[in-house]
Amino acid sequence: MRASLIQIGVDEDESIDSRRRRVAALVRGQDDADLVVLPELWTTGAFAFESFAEAAEPLEGPTYEAMAKAASDTGVWLHAGSIPERDPDGTLYNTSLVFSPSGDLAAAYRKIHRFGFDKGEAVLMGAGAELVTLRLPDTTIGIATCYDLRFPELFRGLVDAGAEVFVLSAGWPERRRSHWTLLARARAVENQAYVLACGTAGTHAGVPQAGHSIVVDPWGEVLAEAGPGEEVLTVDLDPTKVATTREQFPALKDRLLGLETPRR
């Protein structure tokens, strides 16, 4: 299974419309991939809080339309990153969209852990309440967004729901890049799962982005890591490695706490 993570440069000198067209063209260039992954809130930038309300879209808004078409034109599964979604009741959500190769919406995930403590996303957006997994032809993906990476219980929940590959869109800042790499590897090791973590490059709202999108295997080895700029990171995964790792080193079976306590 080939995955391409498109680490988009998100700077303020490019309009949202122009970036949307550019990203659609980048997706269309990945026709040898099975799964293409985009970052969090790449239309506005994850830290451009002031622009969320104005840029918010209904679920089936312009980004949905452009990405559904890009997925079907290219014939790939497309995790289109997240959009600032405006629910019909007016609430904003940080919502990730996944399209099938025919351009149908296969999954939508509203970010559960909102970043910003008592400001920014944490006060401007509502919290999602549902874990989301999706069966692809060769594996089951579990979806998470950026700050979620700090909450291991979310990933355990995804494992209990069958996830073998975590797909995480992010807009992670350079300031905390060491946490990004460490946490991506930790989530892979503790869950014996692949982690595909796609971030942004560039600077928006005065916050330099970390880049360094990363793919980690179920043993915690880094298979590929991007640099700081805009880049496409392509990697071949072997989904059977998840089951093999879990059989050969069955630590997940020794869980004693939680909802699904195995008995041996």
Ligand X SMILES: NC(=O)CCC(=O)C(=O)O
Catalytic positions are 40, 111, 146
Asked whether position 150 contacts ligand X by CB under 6 A, the answer is yes
Q: Nearest Cα to 141, choosing from 186, 181, 96, 180?
A: 96
Across 142-155, b (16+ Cβ under 10 Å) vs e yields bbbbbbbbeeeebb
As given in the structure block, the two tokens for residue 106 are 């296969």
Asked whether position 146 contacts ligand X by CB under 6 A, the answer is yes
CB of 252 vs ligand X, minimal distance in Å? 25
Which of 176, 238, 244, 251 contacts ligand X by CB under 6 A?
A: 176
| Segment 66 to 105, residues that bind ligand X, using CB under 6 A | none
Nearer to ligand X, 40 or 230 (CB): 40
Asked whether position 120 contacts ligand X by CB under 6 A, the answer is no
Q: How many residues bind ligand X (CB under 6 A)?
A: 11
User: Cα dihedral sign for 70, 72, 76, 82?
Assistant: positive
Rounded Cα distance between 50 and 260, Å, is 42
Which of the stretches 14-22, 31-39, 166-174, 234-242 binds ligand X when contact is defined by CB under 6 A? 166-174
Rounded Cα distance between 209 and 11, Å, is 10
Asked whether position 115 contacts ligand X by CB under 6 A, the answer is yes
Tell me the per-residue interface mask from 40 to 69 with ligand X, x by CB under 6 A, - otherwise: x-----x-----------------------
As given in the structure block, the two tokens for residue 251 are 């630590």
How many Cβ atoms from other residues are within 10 Å of residue 235's Cβ? 18
Which of 171, 202, 211, 218 contacts ligand X by CB under 6 A?
A: 171
Q: Nearest Cα to 252, choosing from 239, 264, 262?
A: 262
Asked whether position 253 contacts ligand X by CB under 6 A, the answer is no
**CA geometry: angle at 149 spanning 165 and 182, to 5°?**
90
CB of 102 vs ligand X, minimal distance in Å? 31
CB of 147 vs ligand X, minimal distance in Å? 3
Which of 172, 194, 202, 214 contacts ligand X by CB under 6 A?
A: 172
Residues 198, 185: contact at Cβ < 8 Å?
no
Residues making contact with ligand X (CB under 6 A): 40, 46, 115, 146-147, 150, 171-173, 176, 179
